[in-house]
Structure 1
């Protein structure tokens, strides 16, 4: 750049200029100077704005929840363990690329099999891989809408893949499975579920103002699907099926599932219910469990049981685990054991996800 660009062009016979008097400028030059000053201020403001946005993004990333998963499984009085589960605290290794505005993805799932363990195991092995293939990545708009579509497509694909494999066997497999999947994208929880496994959130609230006591609130993150629910029964009947003794054709206890090929023509579907919830600093943990737990515990009782274990006395230290991690692990194991002690003959699988900020 020429150092003299900002100066007026010299004339052939310049008039003398007094040292005490500044050079005179034309209106056009004054406008140019004002425009340059405006541009500098605008550029400085844009730089400060970008720096502020980066600071906000950094604070948001640092303020994301820290999740840890714990699992306990009990066979109960069944001859075979037909439940399956998956814990992926960091799912990013399965994803080819994350959306530009997403920092972390976690995945937890419980599958409760019936008629055998093949459908639940197949779903545990394949559903999150299908999810990873369909998960949005790169520069995308409306990530929320894309994630919901991804979950719906993933469940449909997993069901179709299992039914294809099941029908190719001789004799054909008749297994089916519930599915309750928890997908956490940064601080947003997406729950997709089929059947009667459930997800519940423990949120702590202060009662009676700022100085009041903290109490737990139990929030349902899933909806059960059984043929006694009006909407489910109507769909089954419109498809030509019947509901007897609270079961599809008097046999199947759930109205939505992965597998169950012989019931798909009777209105049993694999379309999950989707629910969304943003995590806050008041959230303590999430329980994912099959119906074996909820046959002997209400959702609120299960939450209070876990809180009771977390508030108990000292725990025996173990290398590599903090005291809080040991408490959550103990709470998960004791909850599953208590379900069996209370007389649940079914398989019991519990995933406890701790939430920290």
Structure 2
């Protein structure tokens, strides 16, 4: 900007000086016109960016979470869960290019409910503290680092608390967390709880059929890489369990097994949501002991497609169907003979 833009015009004089002033004024007018054109162009670009951002917000998938929990035949409910369709209130600031962050998580405890409850209370707060903010470049890489740091921090904090008790707590927990950043899903998983996505795709005959996409990878000591890590750390695998006792090879807590190669480093996966996606199922192994992932997806779809639906005040027909599907899926797992705790989170993906 010209430092003298705000000064008054020089006093008009006669002769050659006046001509010089006129030429100066014409030059200044031309500069002002160029500046005006540049400002209009910048305003137009800014308006276009705002429109694009507004369009992006309008087109973000609408996520709604539903949960069903069953104790099964266990004496104690050791599962825990968290549903935060919008976790903005937990975040100090969103990255400049991000409009929304959602968080859904299932924790399946063993040896007690303290590790799963601790993870449910603290993991998303640790995530919020470490989440990238400002105009972050390479956001994808930063989110992945944030998730790794969050799991490590949560595990360390719980182990510190557990070891300070008398007697020391021996609880442990799986963790399956789905973080949706605008339309990108990030899944961080420890242990044998799982997350799956239902995507509808048109077949050759034109009929839309469901495709079940695995969003997580299970960790148990029978998997070659997991067993090798445990054995290198001096542990053993007997009857498919660490030291013949622990069913999972990665977890939060389980302090007595950490020296045997059990770790809290999650498997990370990423998947972009599309207009063809219907829902996400997160559930502990209590569901998947009696349902395959594909069976669970088809079970939910059948209920969503039922003709009659009981109306409930304050809920849309779609919401009533998803709520019923979630509850019935958990109940059916118990009916099929699952003695374990069963927790199911169903996340609808709408437009």
Q: Which residue matches 2:263?
A: 269
Counterpart Cα distance in 2 of 1:14 and 1:251: 99
Q: Does 1:144 align with 2:159?
A: no
Q: Which residue matches 2:171?
A: 175
TM-superposition CA deviations, 1:98-150 (whole Å, max 9, x none):
22222211111100011111111111111111111212223332222222111
Q: Does 1:286 align with 2:280?
A: yes
Change (3 A) 1:35 1:72: same
Of the structure 1 ranges 324-333 and 49-58, higher mean CA displacement relative to structure 2 is found in 49-58
Which of 303, 311, 315 aligns to 1:309? It is: 303
Counterpart Cα distance in 2 of 1:183 and 1:13: 71
Q: Which residue matches 2:3?
A: none
3-state secondary structure, aligned to 2:95: coil
3-state secondary structure, aligned to 1:265: helix
Once the 2 structures are TM-superposed, how far is the Cα of residue 276 of structure 1 from its aligned partner? 1.0
Once the 2 structures are TM-superposed, how far is the Cα of residue 46 of structure 1 from its aligned partner? 2.3
3-state secondary structure, aligned to 1:292: helix
Which of 79, 82, 92 aligns to 2:78? It is: 82
TM-score (normalised: structure 2): 0.91
3-state secondary structure, aligned to 1:240: coil
Counterpart Cα distance in 2 of 1:261 and 1:3: 77
Q: Which residue matches 1:322?
A: 316
Q: Which residue matches 1:231?
A: 225
- In structure 1, runs of 5+ residues without a counterpart are 16-24
Task: Give the alignment's Cα RMSD to 1 decimal.
Answer: 2.3
Change (3 A) 1:14 1:300: closer
TM-superposition CA deviations, 1:142-168 (whole Å, max 9, x none):
222222111111111111111111111
Counterpart Cα distance in 2 of 1:107 and 1:72: 17
Change (3 A) 1:309 1:14: closer
Once the 2 structures are TM-superposed, how far is the Cα of residue 79 of structure 1 from its aligned partner? 1.3
Q: Which residue matches 2:241?
A: 247
Counterpart Cα distance in 2 of 1:172 and 1:350: 30
3-state secondary structure, aligned to 2:247: coil
TM-superposition CA deviations, 1:243-279 (whole Å, max 9, x none):
1111111111100000111100000000001111111
Counterpart Cα distance in 2 of 1:95 and 1:246: 41
- In structure 2, runs of 5+ residues without a counterpart are 1-5
Change (3 A) 1:14 1:302: closer
Length, aligned pairs only: 343
Change (3 A) 1:41 1:12: closer
Q: Which residue matches 2:42?
A: 46
Once the 2 structures are TM-superposed, how far is the Cα of residue 284 of structure 1 from its aligned partner? 0.5
Counterpart Cα distance in 1 of 2:8 and 2:112: 83
Q: Which residue matches 2:188?
A: 192
Once the 2 structures are TM-superposed, how far is the Cα of residue 43 of structure 1 from its aligned partner? 3.3
Q: Which residue matches 1:135?
A: 131
Q: Does 1:345 align with 2:339?
A: yes
Q: Which residue matches 2:89?
A: 93
Change (3 A) 1:37 1:347: same
3-state secondary structure, aligned to 1:67: strand
TM-superposition CA deviations, 1:19-49 (whole Å, max 9, x none):
xxxxxx99x9999887666554443322211
Once the 2 structures are TM-superposed, how far is the Cα of residue 205 of structure 1 from its aligned partner? 1.1
Counterpart Cα distance in 2 of 1:127 and 1:91: 13
Of the structure 1 ranges 132-141 and 74-83, higher mean CA displacement relative to structure 2 is found in 132-141
Once the 2 structures are TM-superposed, how far is the Cα of residue 50 of structure 1 from its aligned partner? 1.4
TM-score (normalised: structure 1): 0.90
Q: Does 1:102 align with 2:98?
A: yes
Q: Which residue matches 1:57?
A: 53
Q: Which residue matches 2:327?
A: 333
Change (3 A) 1:168 1:12: closer
